Amino acid sequence: MLEILNVIMRFFTWGLATYRWGKRNERFMLFMSLGLWMDFLAALAQKQVISKLGWSPNPTALLPLMSIMAVFNGVLLMAASFSIRGQLDTRENQFLILTCVIAGPTYVLLATLLGASSVVFMALPVPFMGLSLMVLSYSLIKEEVGLRTAATLFPIGAFLLGVINLTYPLTIRTPLATYLYGLGAFFRAMMFIGMIKYAFLQVKPPEMPITELPTGAFYSTGKRTFNVLLRKMQSSGNGILITRNRLRDIKPRFPVFWVTRATSGQMDENIMAVSPTDMGILLDLVRRYLETGHSLVVLDCFEYLMIENGFENAFKFLISMKDTVMKYNGTLVTTVEPPAYSKKHMAMLQRELEKLEL
């Protein structure tokens, strides 16, 4: 029964990943969906599962097939990890993927020709897949979901499953194997629950366009400009606010990212708490809203990001945010307090941002 439940969870986890890819058209989700499909087929190819379905295949014929699927599953998950971090197009990572695609099937072919045992067959493919799961999990937590949401169950479950796969050559012929199989099913249940939350994360489009603002990247030094922008966002339901302060006087009709260490995750209908050190996650969240048509981003906590991450890292984040907003022909406005900066740092900001007067 556990084997059939395992197959069902793998299938629906793949289905949820494919649903998210179809809704968002994210490249890393395409790789992840393909990898999860390979994972589902590998479950179907297990002797215990096939026998429960009434078939009696030759086990020696299934072994090379399962090994090849494990290799390509690992390659696809590795590609997904590189894509999440924006590193898929580098020559080094492409060479690493090429090496794995060549080495994995070659190993399986040699094991087949030499009549190797099942342990030898899986000694490379399964640990490689486990390592890919662990790398993918790290990338998802670092760049996508963070650590304090229900969606985090997916990468945590995948990481723990990867650890089990890494131990395969050492544990498969021991009494631990049965217990590890059950533990792996539990970790897959974690992945399935996390994927439900991750796949259905809603990103609302703007209610109407903002036409009075110029496109580009700007800075402002007074509360007046910030208040004008806040009114525009509230009246149009268009815009993204990144702030250190909770909005207590209004119920925002636009997405607000409250940057704080006190908590994380969804706080209200349009308010999400994000750690100041999770700048990669914050950038990805903003990008998702820009993709739906939001055209204004107000960064009202640059000094706080600078305190938490250092000026250099905060400035790199600002440049990435600028490039992302410009890609979607939007407007970025960063509020600054000039006395908080050295002359050098203020000059760097002014080279990247124009002054906005409203």
Q: Give first-to-last CA distance, the chain, whole Å.
A: 66
Q: Report how far residue 82's alpha carbon sits from residue 266's, in angstroms, rounded to the nearest whole number.
A: 27
- Residue in the structure block whose two tokens are 């990943």: 17
For 150, counting Cβ atoms within 10 Å of its Cβ (0-12 exposed, 13-18 middle, 19+ buried), the class is middle
Give the pLDDT confidence of 215-272 residue by residue, as tens digits: 999 999 888 899 899 999 999 999 999 999 888 778 899 999 999 988 777 777 788 8
How many angstroms from the chain centroid is the CA of residue 28? 8
What are the sequence ranges of the domains in the chain?
A: 2-199, 216-355
Give the pLDDT confidence of 45-81 residue by residue, as tens digits: 877 777 777 777 676 778 888 899 999 999 999 999 9
Query: Which pair of structure tokens corresponds to residue 155?
Result: 């990468």
Q: Report how far residue 195's alpha carbon sits from residue 137's, in angstroms, rounded to the nearest whole number.
A: 12
Whether the predicted model's global pTM rises above the 0.85 cut: no
Cβ partners under 8 Å of residue 170, min gap 6: none
For domain 216-355, which architecture applies? 3-Layer(aba) Sandwich (3.40)
Return the closest-CA partner of residue 356 out of 217, 231, 262, 227: 217
Return the closest-CA partner of residue 331 out of 238, 262, 236: 238
Q: What is the pLDDT along the chain (358 residues), one digit of tens a residue?
A: 677 788 888 999 999 999 888 877 788 999 999 999 999 998 888 777 777 777 776 767 788 888 999 999 999 999 999 998 878 889 999 999 999 999 999 999 999 999 888 888 889 999 999 999 999 999 888 777 766 667 889 999 999 999 999 988 888 888 888 888 888 889 999 999 999 988 876 677 788 888 788 999 999 988 889 989 999 999 999 999 999 988 877 889 999 999 998 877 777 778 888 889 888 889 988 988 998 899 999 999 999 999 999 999 999 999 999 999 999 999 999 999 988 899 999 999 999 999 997 7
Q: Report how far residue 95's alpha carbon sits from residue 53's, in angstroms, rounded to the nearest whole number.
A: 41
Report the chain's C-alpha Rg in angstroms: 24
**Full DSSP string of 87-102:** -TTSHHHHHHHHHHHH
CB 29 within 8 A of CB 17: yes
Return the closest-CA partner of residue 317 out of 278, 353, 344: 278
Cβ partners under 8 Å of residue 187, min gap 6: 157, 158, 160, 161, 164
* Cα 230 to Cα 227, 252, 269, 294, 327, distances in angstroms: 5, 9, 18, 14, 23
